[in-house]
Amino acid sequence: MERYYYELVVKPLSHYDLFLDFTLQIVEDGLEEFDDSIIVRNLQPLDDVAWGIEQFRKKLEEKFGIEIFVQISEKRLENRDWIENFKQSVQPVLIPPFYIHPTWHKPKKELISLAIDPAMAFGSGHHESTELCLGLISEMEVSKKSLLDVGTGSGILGIAGAKLGAEVSICDIDPVAVDSAVENFEKNGLEFVESWIGSAGDTGNSYDIVIANIIPDVIVAISKSLRERSVDKLLLSGILSNRYNLVLENFSDFKLVQKREKNEWVALLLEKRV
């Protein structure tokens, strides 16, 4: 075991969720989340991560036209098995009927258990947008339906659909995310139809249900391929509440079936007009 490790503490004074999402995208290992701070740990210095967060802060200032403050501090600490401490800090999430837990926690037989290890990337049920999607998936008729999870991340939404009987395909522009999702499918004893590195525009297939839990700018940018891939329903999330109308404008050939909100996040269930 290495004697020392590095700890980066990020404390945004506003726009916490945006900083959290960005940090999740640029770190390969797990992070620890608190009410007001984000902690990243690694055996190597985290100067590049700190620089990236500072650049993201500047971009947010340009976008919103206001001054945004974030406290960033890094220190070298003696290694006292922080990986094990991190594991103990990660608690399962209950989003009925789903029970999302890391592999070091036992499943619950009375619930639909999803084994997702947070350290492996990009979505473990703790974020509001993921929670909103899981709630809507649980209420949809997905059994024996074809489902495409665009920007799959950890694969959690595709895994939830597969647990309910859907025939799932997954894709992500990040090869690390695709590898992570494939491994998580295996950990849950599930199979998927196909996976690829890329987006919805990189297949000619159509699907009964298309899910995209990604930021609104990306949803808008790939809206044409999302519409073309969907035979019936679109589930869109990762959308800030003040931007959902912008998203809807790009899906006029779909009607809004449900809009779910939690805090500043929105998920939209759309159905193709006949």
pLDDT in the model for residue 35 = 77
Q: What tens digit of pLDDT does each residue of 130-188 get?
A: 999 999 999 999 999 999 999 998 899 999 999 999 999 999 998 988 998 999 999 99
Whole-angstrom distance, CA of residue 235 vs CA of residue 246: 15
* DSSP symbols for 200-251: GGG----EEEEEEES-HHHHHHTHHHHHHHEEEEEEEEEEEGGGHHHHHTT-
CB 171 within 8 A of CB 200: yes
Q: What tens digit of pLDDT does each residue of 78-108 get?
A: 776 666 666 676 788 899 999 999 888 899 9
Q: Give the Å distances, CA to CA, from 172 to 110, 121, 129, 244, 247.
A: 32, 12, 17, 22, 20
Task: Just give the CATH number of 91-272.
Answer: 3.40.50.150
Prior bond of 97 cis (ω within 30°):
yes
pLDDT in the model for residue 125 = 61
Sign of the Cα torsion 8, 120, 209, 205 reads positive
Place of tokens 């700890």: 7
SS3 of residue 155 by DSSP: coil
More confident residue, 267 or 87: 267
pLDDT in the model for residue 122 = 56
pLDDT in the model for residue 109 = 86
| Mean pLDDT over each residue of the chain, to the nearest integer | 90
pLDDT in the model for residue 91 = 81
Region 52-78 average pLDDT: 93
**Does 1.10.1520.10 match the CATH number of domain 4-87?**
no
Q: Please state whether the predicted TM-score (pTM) of the whole model is above 0.75.
A: no
Domain boundaries, the chain: 4-87, 91-272
